[in-house]
């Protein structure tokens, strides 16, 4: 009886942990490909992206912090990133403003980054091979 109660308790704990919203957890996204949409070519700027409730860090292919951008808001609620869905983080860095659009479709993760600075814009599509929850 005790074993059944413990097993049931652990099952519910695992559900709570995996249903965290993207805007409230620290998540390391493993980037498998980056497409510069405006230039129309692939690029290898990033190998990881780490999203937190307050910042998004871009880790270069050499494992070095390439950029850190402030999160200033969010749209949508993606309660379980283990299931298809999506959410958007609003980001800012100096004069640059933009969005990171996270989505999972057909079990695959995609991130679109749109950065605006004056009249210029940058758009990158990132394919992700997976993610990992991190402790803050």
CATH number at residue 65: 2.40.128
Average pLDDT over the chain reads: 84
Interacting residues of 134 by C-beta distance below 8 A, sequence separation 6+: 26, 27, 28, 50
Backbone torsions φ then ψ of 117, nearest 5 degrees: -140, 105
Average pLDDT rounded to a whole number, residues 22-37: 93
Domain span including residue 130 = 2-134
pLDDT (0 to 100) of residue 16 = 36
When comparing pLDDT for 57 and 15, which is higher?
57
Backbone torsions φ then ψ of 39, nearest 5 degrees: -80, -20
- Percent of the chain topping pLDDT 70: 85
Average pLDDT rounded to a whole number, residues 37-46: 92
Number of domains in the chain: 1
By residue count, the chain amounts to: 136
Core vs surface per residue 94-123: b (16+ CB within 10 A) or e: eebebbbbbbbeeeebebbbbbeeeeeeee
Report how far residue 86's alpha carbon sits from residue 101's, in angstroms, rounded to the nearest whole number: 7
Whether the model clears a pTM of 0.85, i.e. scores above it, the answer is no
pLDDT (0 to 100) of residue 105 = 94
pLDDT (0 to 100) of residue 5 = 41
Average pLDDT rounded to a whole number, residues 1-12: 40
């Amino acid at each position: 009886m005790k074993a059944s109660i413990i097993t049931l308790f652990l099952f519910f704990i695992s559900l709570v942990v995996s249903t965290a919203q993207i805007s409230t957890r620290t998540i390391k996204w493993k980037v498998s490909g980056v497409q510069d949409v405006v230039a129309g070519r692939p690029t290898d700027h990033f190998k990881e992206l780490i999203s937190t409730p307050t910042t998004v860090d871009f880790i270069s292919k050499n494992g070095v912090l390439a950029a850190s951008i402030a999160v200033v808001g969010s749209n949508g609620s993606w309660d379980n990133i283990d299931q298809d869905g999506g959410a958007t983080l609003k980001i800012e860095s100096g004069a640059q403003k933009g969005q990171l659009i996270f989505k999972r479709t057909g079990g695959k993760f995609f991130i679109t980054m749109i950065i605006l600075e004056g009249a210029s814009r940058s758009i990158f599509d990132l394919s992700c091979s997976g993610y990992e929850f991190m402790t803050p």
